[in-house]
């Protein structure tokens, strides 16, 4: 929480935020994210949240600064496909300290986008980074294990399930040799391996 409250604007910097344009900056006080060196801007939409936009080349420096300040832990890494029109994917690194959350937002191109690994600072990042590669096609440079986590063997190359324009059913059919079964709720009285789901 101390880091979030210490991030004050030394000089206004225009950044694009989801709720419109805001003017904010970021100060390097107390080992935080170094202003002008690793961030492109920030937005504090809620009292305990801070979103900081950084370039992929500054990701390691930003996480090192947070780690060096002994601020928080990596809670999650989320990928967001902004669509073909925007031609970008955002990788959101959520670092938590108590009820405070700092999100490092890294935008990369939809095709050929890459971020460096941060698993040396945050060992749990390896799981998230592998998922980012598998589901969105973002290359994570320096990652030792790039094997699939969720997709079956034989999944079509360069077919990323969480991109908005991916036809997952067609990709699954190529892998499984037939259309995958319908997912979701079944009709009343349907059976399952554990017995009937509703009384007769």
**102 in a domain, yes or no?**
yes
Domain count, the chain: 1
Q: Identify the pLDDT of residue 122.
A: 93
CATH number at residue 112: 3.30.460.80
**151 in a domain, yes or no?**
yes
Segments of the chain scoring below 70 in pLDDT = 1-45, 177-200
The domain containing residue 132 runs over which residues? Answer: 2-178
SS3 content of the chain, % helix, strand, coil (to 5): 25, 30, 50
**192 in a domain, yes or no?**
no
**52 in a domain, yes or no?**
yes
Q: What is the mean pLDDT of the chain?
A: 75
Q: Identify the pLDDT of residue 91.
A: 97
Q: Identify the pLDDT of residue 199.
A: 52
**24 in a domain, yes or no?**
yes
**195 in a domain, yes or no?**
no
Q: Read off the pTM.
A: 0.70
**130 in a domain, yes or no?**
yes
Question: DSSP characters for 28-48?
Answer: -GGG-PPTTTT-SEEE--STT
**200 in a domain, yes or no?**
no
Residue 33 sits at the vertex; the CA angle it makes with 30 and 39, to the nearest 5 degrees, is 155
Q: 195 in helix, strand or coil?
A: strand
> Residues 64-70: contacts with CB within 8 Å, 24+ apart?
64/121, 65/28, 65/31, 65/32, 65/33, 65/34, 65/38, 66/3, 66/32, 66/33, 66/95, 66/102, 67/121, 67/122, 68/31, 69/3, 69/30, 69/31, 69/32
């Amino acid at each position: 929480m101390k880091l979030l409250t210490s991030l004050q604007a030394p000089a206004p910097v225009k950044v694009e935020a989801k709720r419109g344009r805001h003017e904010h900056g970021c100060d390097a006080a107390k080992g935080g994210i170094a202003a002008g060196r690793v961030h492109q801007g920030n937005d504090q939409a809620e009292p305990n949240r801070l979103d900081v936009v950084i370039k992929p080349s500054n990701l390691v420096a930003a996480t090192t600064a947070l780690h060096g300040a002994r601020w928080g832990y990596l809670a999650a890494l989320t990928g967001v496909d902004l669509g073909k029109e925007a031609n970008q994917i955002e990788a959101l690194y959520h670092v938590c300290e108590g009820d405070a959350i700092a999100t490092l937002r890294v935008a990369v191109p939809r095709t050929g986008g890459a971020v460096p690994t941060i698993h040396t600072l945050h060992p749990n990042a390896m799981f998230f980074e592998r998922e980012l590669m598998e589901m969105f096609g973002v290359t994570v440079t320096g990652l030792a294990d790039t094997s699939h986590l969720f997709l079956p063997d034989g999944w079509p190359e360069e077919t990323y399930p969480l991109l908005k324009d991916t036809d997952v059913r067609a990709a699954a059919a190529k892998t499984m040799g037939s259309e995958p079964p319908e997912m979701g709720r079944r009709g009343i009285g349907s059976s399952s391996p554990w017995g009937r789901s509703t009384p007769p």
